Structure formats: C-alpha cells, structure tokens
Amino acid sequence: MKYASALLGGLIFSAGLASAEPVTVDNCDSTLTFDKVPERLVVHDINMSEMAFALGLQDKMVGVTGISGWYKTSPEFDTKRGDIPELAPKYPSVENLVAASADTFFAGWYYGMRPGGEVTPETLEPQGIKTLILSESCVHQHKAEKAATMDLLYSDVLRLGKVFGKEAEALKLVDGWKDQLAGIREKVGDASGTRVFLFDSGDDKPFTAGKYAIVNAMIEAAGGVNVTADMETSWGRSSWEAVAATNPEFLILLDYQNGTGAEGLLEWLKEHPAMSQTDAVKNGRFVPLRYEELTPGPANITAIEKIAKTMNPDQFQ
C-alpha cells in the first residue's frame, strides 16, 4: 500500500513536470523565454530589488548589485533583504554574476547595464544568464512611441510574477495600486494642472526627468504637469533658462541621503538668478523624494500620494 502511494505520488509529480510549459515575456523590443522558474536571481538597484521583495522572491535571489555605492537603505529594506549578499556596490562585472552562478539578471539600461558595456544581455547569454530588462530603460535602445505611463511599473511586476510563478500575487499588487491611484485622482479632482519641476542635480544645467521617465507619469497621476515633459528622453539635462521660463509652481527635490538633501537643493535654487524668481521657489513649495521613489518600483505609489497631498493639501483634508 505504501509502495502504491509512492508510485502514485511519483506519477503525479512526473505529470506536473511534463505539463509545465515554457514561459515567454516581453523584453523591450524582443521576447525572453524561460523553460523553468529561475532559481538564482540577481537584481540590480534598490527600486528593482523592492519589486522582487514585493513578490516574496528573496528565496530565489542570490545577490543584489548597485546599492551601497550610491544609497543609504532604510531599515525596512535591510530587513526584507536579509542575508542576500551585495555582489558589487555599483555596476557589476560579468565575473560578479558568474561567480554567483546567476541564471537571471534583472536590470536595465543605465540601471546596471550600459549599451556597448561589459554587462549586456549579449555578454551574459553565453554564460547561461538571462537578462530581464527594466521596461522604463528600453527607450535607451529603442525610441519610445509615447510618453511614460504607470504601465511601466505594472508590466514589470506582472512579468516578474509570470516568470516566477507568482501571477496571482502580482495581479493583486497591481490591482491594489490602481485602486490607490484612482482614489488619489478622485481627491485631486479639479485642482489639477500645477506646473511641476523635478530637480535632481546640476549647477550649469539641471538634471531632470523627461517624457519617458516614470516620474512624468507620476506627476500626471498626482494632478500635476511636468514642465520638462517635452524632453525626448527619460532622464537628461535641460537649461535653467528654459525651466525658469515655465515658472514652475511646485518642486520635486531628489533627497539624496548621501548628499546635501532636498533642503540643500532648495537653498541653491533660492540663490539662482532665474529660478529664485519662480513661484515654486519664492513660495518654498516642494516635496522631497528618494531615488527609489522616483525610479520604477513599489515606492512610486506612496510617492504619488505624497506629491498630491503636498501639492494640494486642501483636497486631502
């Protein structure tokens, strides 16, 4: 009887393996096929790591890259990361990934990879490592046809869910985020159209977000208008004259924990001949946001709420 049960269990297990089908997902202008669920995932950057954590993929992760070289992490992030090692503080090498026996690398263009650089999907493929590319970054290889939308975040989480057998969890996350944003839009109501400028860094020329950065979609979701939305890039440099001419009414200041922080950026703007005359700077209207809140990841949703509440406090009483 025990033998029969064992035989039946083995048949069921074998049938499960036989019925398992390869999973194919979009990957920029191409597709990527996984014959089985990856077991040795390496994730670049804090924002993409938070996507993986949101789906509970820590047991599949053998490393992270590109975190301590730029950012200070929160206690929450450190708790979720646990003992997952950091393989490289900034951009990884092929050797870093091979040494970890990675089978999958979740990264993006200028998020762990550079066009023509050492680590690319083409250099990793011969090592048996598949590269899942961050959707927002695809614009660096193939010109986008439309401005960024929140679908950049949703599609990446749904892709991860499909690849790792967490489709139900991913769909639940995305549906919840959509409900949250619908509630924010309802509260903002007619109080929309505020002109918003994001200041990351730069003295001679401001480094900011263009039409293909997810921040552009976040500003719209919060009821604002990105004054640099005409820039045909995700992140890039504008000119102070062009920004000041739009007379922004509200600022998003990148709160680098390793730098002067948002307050330091505001003080710098107050001393700038042109920017000091804009409504946003004169009235001190700004919200500080961290890097992981402004790059594709779960933190985008609470960041949108922060922008909306700070920009239109009367709507959120």
**Is 9 a residue whose pLDDT tops 50?**
no
CA angle (13, 19, 20) in 5-degree steps: 90
Average pLDDT, the chain: 92
**Is 19 a residue whose pLDDT tops 80?**
no
> What pLDDT sits at residue 143?
74
Q: Could you report how far apart the first and last alpha carbons of the chain are, in Å?
A: 68
pLDDT (tens digit per residue) in 40-57: 999 999 999 999 999 999
Separation of alpha carbons 37 and 232, rounded Å: 37
Residue extents of the structural domains in the chain: 20-143, 174-316
> What pLDDT sits at residue 15?
40
Q: Of all helices (H) and strands (E), which one includes residue 27?
A: strand 23-27
- The domain at 20-143 falls in which architecture? 3-Layer(aba) Sandwich (3.40)
pLDDT (tens digit per residue) in 114-157: 999 999 999 999 999 999 999 999 999 887 778 999 999 999 99
**Is 192 a residue whose pLDDT tops 80?**
yes
> What pLDDT sits at residue 72?
82
Residues 6+ apart with CB under 8 A from 114: 91, 120
Pick the CATH number of 174-316 from 3.40.720.10, 3.40.50.1980, 2.60.40.3120, 3.30.450.40: 3.40.50.1980
Q: Output phi, psi for 287, to 5 deg.
A: -130, 130
- What 3-state class would DSSP assign to 53? helix
Separation of alpha carbons 116 and 13, rounded Å: 44
Q: Is the fold of 20-143 the same as that of 174-316? A: yes
> What pLDDT sits at residue 3?
41
> What pLDDT sits at residue 5?
44
- What 3-state class would DSSP assign to 54? helix
Average confidence (pLDDT) over 190-204: 93
**Is 69 a residue whose pLDDT tops 70?**
yes
Residues 6+ apart with CB under 8 A from 272: 240, 281
> What pLDDT sits at residue 317?
82
> What pLDDT sits at residue 88?
98
Average confidence (pLDDT) over 249-275: 87
> What pLDDT sits at residue 142?
81
Separation of alpha carbons 170 and 34, rounded Å: 18
**Is 160 a residue whose pLDDT tops 70?**
yes
CA dist 108 to 47, 105, 119, 148, 187, Å? Answer: 11, 9, 10, 16, 34
Per the listing, tokens 């009483």 go with 317
Q: Measuring CA to CA, which residue among 81, 55, 33 is closest to residue 65? A: 81
Question: HSE-up of 315 (CA within 13 Å, CB side)?
Answer: 20
Question: HSE-up of 250 (CA within 13 Å, CB side)?
Answer: 22
Range scoring the smallest mean pLDDT among 122-131, 158-167, 254-263: 254-263
Separation of alpha carbons 288 and 266, rounded Å: 10
What does the block give as tokens for 20? 């398992």
Separation of alpha carbons 266 and 278, rounded Å: 12
- What percent of the chain shows pLDDT beyond 90? 84
Per-range mean pLDDT, top range of 199-203, 213-217, 257-261: 213-217
